[in-house]
Amino acid sequence: MYAISLGDDGAELRPLEPWRAGEFLAHMDRGREFIGQYNGLPDLVTDLESSRAFLQAYAERTAADTGRLHGIWADGTLVGAVLFRKLDVAGGTAEAGCWLEPSAVGKGLVTRATRVLLDWAVEERGIHRVDWWVSVGNEPSIAVARRLGMTRDGVLRESHLHRGERHDEEIWSVLAPEWRAARRAS
C-alpha cells in the first residue's frame, strides 16, 4: 500500500486495513486506558476477532465511500489513527476523529495527520464542512481543533454516554473556504 510522510521525524500515515488486526490490537492494548478516557473504542476492540471486525467495518465504509481509517506510525510502530467516522460526499459533510497512545502524545502527529485528511476531503472529494466532536474534558483534542483553524459551534449537553457517565460534547467545524484560506496563509 502507500504511506504518506508526516514530516522529517519519519512518522507516516497509512491505511489501517483488516490484515493489520494483530498490530491494531497490540496498539489498543498499549493505549487502552489512555485512549479509553474519552473514546469507547478500547471497550470494543478486546481481542483479535473484535480487532479484525472493527477494521473490516472501516474497510466496508471505505468501499462504500462513507468513511476512512488511517493509522499513524512512528518509528515503524502503530501509535494512533485519524479517521472520517462519517463521510457524505453528496451532502458535502464529514466528521473527523482521532486517537493516540501515550507514547506518541505531544509530537503534533494528530494535527499533521488530520491536515492530510482534511486536504484530501476538501480538495479531492469536494467536502464543504468537516465536523470534530469532542468531549469537553478532552483538552488535547480541543487543542487540535484550534490548531486546525476550526470554529467551536456549540455544546451538546450530556449527549454522550461513556462508561456509564454522561458527557457534554463540543462540536467544532471548518468550512472549505476557511480551510483553503488558512492553507494559503500558511
pLDDT tens digits, 7-64: 888 999 999 999 999 999 999 999 999 999 888 899 999 999 999 999 999 999 999 9
The contacts of residue 154 (CB under 8 Å, 6+ apart) are: 170, 171
Say how far apart CA 124 and CA 21 lie, in whole Å: 28
Closest to 134 in 3D by CA, of 154, 110, 120: 154
Total structural domains within the chain: 1
Q: What are the tens digits of pLDDT across the range 74-89? A: 999 999 999 999 999 9
* 147 Cβ contact list (under 8 Å, min separation 6): 111
Question: Which pLDDT belongs to residue 53?
Answer: 98
The CA-based angle 125-145-109, given to 5 degrees, is: 80
State the cell numbers at 50.
473484535
Owning domain of residue 10: 4-185
Q: Which of 12-16, 48-52, 115-119, 158-162 has the lowest mean pLDDT?
A: 158-162
DSSP state letter for 19? G
Q: Kindly indicate the confidence band of residue 122, based on its pLDDT and cuts at 50, 70 and 90.
A: very high
Q: Write the CATH number for 51.
A: 3.40.630.30
